[in-house]
Chain A
Amino acid sequence: MLDAGRSSLGSVSARSVLGWVYRFILFPIGQMLVFIVGAALVLTLLSYLLALLFPEPRPNISLMTQVNRQLPGMIVSGITIGFVYAMIALGYTLVYGVLKFINFAHSEIFMFGSVVGFEVMQRLAEGGNLPGWSPVLLVAFVVLAAMLASGLLAVLIERVAYRPLRGAPRLVPLISAIGVSFFMIDVVRAFQAITRNDFNLTYPLNNLEWIRNPVKLAIGEATVNIRPTQFIVVLGAVVTLIALNYFVNGTKLGRGIRAVSQDMATAGLMGINVNRMISLTFFVGGAFGGAAGALFGMNVGTVTPFVGFIPGIKAFTAAVLGGIGNITGALLGGLTLGLIESFLNGLLVYFPVLGQRYTDVFAFSVLILILIFRPSGLLGERVDEKV
């Protein structure tokens, strides 16, 4: 809540403004920084350990040199993909928090966001007025459109495929979700095949000067290229995550969602329209999936109707890693998994037999290990729900 002082004074004091800024802006940013620095530090140490254990994994290749050279790049790309995972993971975790059910159609909600983002940009490009947009405005517009579309899609899916099954055994909505997932993939594929005769959708980023030129940073012997799209992903994710924290912890509707997630029946007794809160949760979770989809699309350049599956299941891994149902956990899990993956991507190439293609094997090993040894996730036992 804003501040205890408010209710007695009835006015906004300077102290409560500071409290507000701390609670809803500084604290979440600090938390993200701690997670990023922590995960990056641990992985850096592990990399050096690896370099000590295997100084020369292949003839004439010094792992130590490679680690030194690649470290900043791996961290940057890890943070980027980590924020994408975190944003998708939030969709799983929010819905799980309220309905105790894994929405396996969420990967398609993400895919839908990336396709809508493409459509919006492509249409602007076809109209010839893309270069006229200011970068910030363009990105904001594309992301907001994807958020709206994916949010509404998620609400629709809940209404059609899950609500009639409320109270059914837990496996039933899960199967329904998988059905929705296949259905969505094929609907988008059919639509794109008919309208564009192709379902490899390439974001029209080429005629945008500002998006093509990476920023080069030199740190010691390492150089790191930071693409503007990576800036966009991180900035977009940070802004939306702060907004989510405020929504969940600082608004009446967020309070309603938390009440429903803790005790649905009692929330109804308090006068809360439970179905409306569930729809709202799906909207918010879906909007985050959509935002992640559009940001992901801008970052990788080309999306397809099948693009949702792998990021979706990895984000699910991230949500479980952090502690499913826990919003902070989704953030921590996403960033950690993103960094793990990026480090593996960077270092596995130097090992014989193994290679970059084993990255996914390791990422999913994380899921299996967590499910075996700590099914409640890293933050499973913590009882607060801040971002």
Chain B
Amino acid sequence: MNRFPEQKPNRYDALVILVVLALALLCAARFWLAPTDGAAEVVVRADGAEIDRLPLADAERTYQNNGYTLRIAVTAESVRVTQADCPTQDCVHTGRISRQGQSIVCLPARIVITVEGTGAAPYDAIAG
């Protein structure tokens, strides 16, 4: 029953680290290599369903979902969440996003704000 692993790191541990980093790289490549497609626009999804779509131009919007409220500010270059009433504030801390394929995720409100090309989306929405 008792299998005590060694306490000194060995070269097999390095293999685990390499695998983890390779996985990270693979996952990151998906976003770096996402094709840009036409003009960028902001797409807002709540619970996976699109609720708003607006061009990158000065605007402020407020969204409510799952009992939480988000306020976003859009400029000609970027979009950010300016205010959220969730406890973690992760979406506010994400800051500005501007490149196509980038997104801001608010887990409590279940809202995803993505910058997308006006053509095809860099990834498909999937059913929960």
A and B interact: no
Where the two chains meet, the residues of B that have a C-beta atom closer than 8 Å to any C-beta of A are none
